[in-house]
């Protein structure tokens, strides 16, 4: 998994603003027969694997850890606030 420098800067500000938690990737159900990955700022759960990626604390649900190996988190500042995108997810058959 990779977090781009721009995403890191935005995430760092978010984590500072909420003053707790980390970036958490979790199993978010199935879409088109494949697992979906959700992304939030939250406290790690008991079965999460903890990592520091590009200086960002990251908790990854063990159910989806294998899906995050090639994952790239990009971010950009917008008028509505920061927006994040996950790239490198396996193609879905929909």
Hey, how many other C-beta atoms are within 10 angstroms of the C-beta on 3?
22
Q: Write down the mean pLDDT value for the chain.
A: 91
Q: What digits encode the pLDDT tens for the residues 13-59?
A: 999 988 889 999 999 988 777 778 999 999 999 999 999 999 999 99
Contacts of 73 (CB under 8 A, 6+ apart): 1, 2, 3, 4, 7, 11, 23, 39, 84, 85, 86, 87
The domain spans of the chain are 2-87
Q: Phi, psi (5° rounding) for residue 18? A: -85, -20
Q: Which CATH superfamily is domain 2-87 in?
A: HesB-like domain (2.60.300.12)
């Amino acid at each position: 998994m990779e977090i781009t420098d721009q995403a890191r800067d935005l995430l760092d500000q978010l984590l500072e603003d909420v003053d707790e938690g980390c970036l958490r990737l979790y199993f978010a159900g199935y879409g088109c027969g494949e697992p979906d990955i959700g992304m939030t700022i939250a406290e790690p759960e008991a079965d999460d694997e903890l990592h520091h990626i590009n200086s960002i604390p990251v908790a990854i649900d063990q159910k989806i850890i294998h899906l995050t190996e090639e994952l790239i988190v990009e971010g950009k500042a917008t008028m509505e606030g920061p927006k994040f995108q996950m790239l490198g997810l396996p193609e879905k058959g929909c």
